[in-house]
Structure 1
């Protein structure tokens, strides 16, 4: 075993635990910490300083998806912290003790199957998911995996880097597969949300023109400050399809990246996309897409699912943020505020992102 010099790993910690699907969140102060001697080869223990909160964490708590989470469960998958221990007999570890690293939704994969070799690590049959199939980052300490934690660039502070690890990499990867080029229009339903406000920035960094679709003055102000070229309020618009087309000169956007977890965003996209456009599916309502088959075929629409990103996508997304081209808009709270954050997420009250300070380092 290998432990960071001068660091003592405690026996217990503070952690936010969901005991069963739909059960109330419990912040426990006596949750056990896995000790260095108990780490398996390839595992590392990370002392978490900050973690983002994602809508997926709420889905995990409620058990909303067809793939059910493990329980009891510590959620969270946007964690930043310091490696304080590495399991014995871990050969050629790409990270070392004391490194500041990020923990993502994809906690681990085999790296050897067809999917991993082809760049679909997230679809590996052996994939482990942080805060879903293994414990996540809503705790002071978390066990992760040396091959999949991501080094954090020195230019980024820990709180600001946290949400890049899921919201950032997810939207960045979705734009990479959107079949767009510099100067193209991309529509972003849910643009003022946690994923959406980062999608606006990554799209601008990639030379795209952005139609931000959301509702409310706070979200309008946010997306315009981030460079959105056009704004459509889906609640006040009398004809959202016509308004989106009008913003692009009449033809419609070249791509739509739907980050909102609602069926409506998908149904509308096929109507307003221009011929040959791409619908990128990111938000995950457990519902039928509702895309009209006739118009999908007649307009030569391409439908592309995009599920988080690879280790390389994460490095690229962080590098763009480290260069100052993307910045997370977030409100910082303590771990004990997580229950209230979940309630605000359900009510759609959060513009940008919430980051929790888990421990001071």
Structure 2
């Protein structure tokens, strides 16, 4: 979408939100612990604990059970985290939201990459789309040109665009690797702190899915132009996730890692409980802000507080990335 259209959408959102007054809050929480069609993928036992933390955070953010959807293979979930269930959940959101509402979209599980195809997004200079794998995702098909039944970054952006064009603010949280690199192996034995020990990464290497990246990279190199999107970033934050001069709709995206990083799943000390490091640290920071002296912290306050918490960790820990707009939006009304 070009800058003019985003500008029109943003202006419309401001008018509608003003007319509607304070909106409702909704949550769609997706946790994929096991890839049922991909036996080589490690089971992420920490994802169920992450969903517990996400449910608590959604509740404390003001989401009622009636406006919360949980997709996971666990007791109390609304549906399994499959492709069809996710589509149905997005469809339900579209039926229920109104201008001025706010949506928390949380994704935890394995990430990977796939070739964009010769007619793909030229903004992906490495020729690869980021992919969030769902419970019923299937291996790469050269005939289809994609991993089956997965959530591709382009599809996610389109779904978010539909919501924001309706005047809805989206808080996106992704605790997954979104740039799996073939050169990386497992967890280094030294990846530990006084609070936790790293046990795995939330990444499935593309070759496990049957993708010959070298072959596709060579083909794409002949077709892609040298276009690069330059992000306007504050230290660790981005005022826009699109090209320079383009307004973003109301959104705040919290990613566990930068494009070249691996999201860590860790075992907490002393009980060994497994969680996504990013989800755990985000939740504890969120709780600290709720209990703090500032009655109305913003999304920027939360993002910077998470960055500060990561600043106290060893240098080997991959740092999170924050992109979006509307950073001055309040996390809660003044009296929460």
TM score, norm. by length of structure 2: 0.29
- Does 1 or 2 have the higher relative contact order (CA < 8 Å, sep 6+)? 2
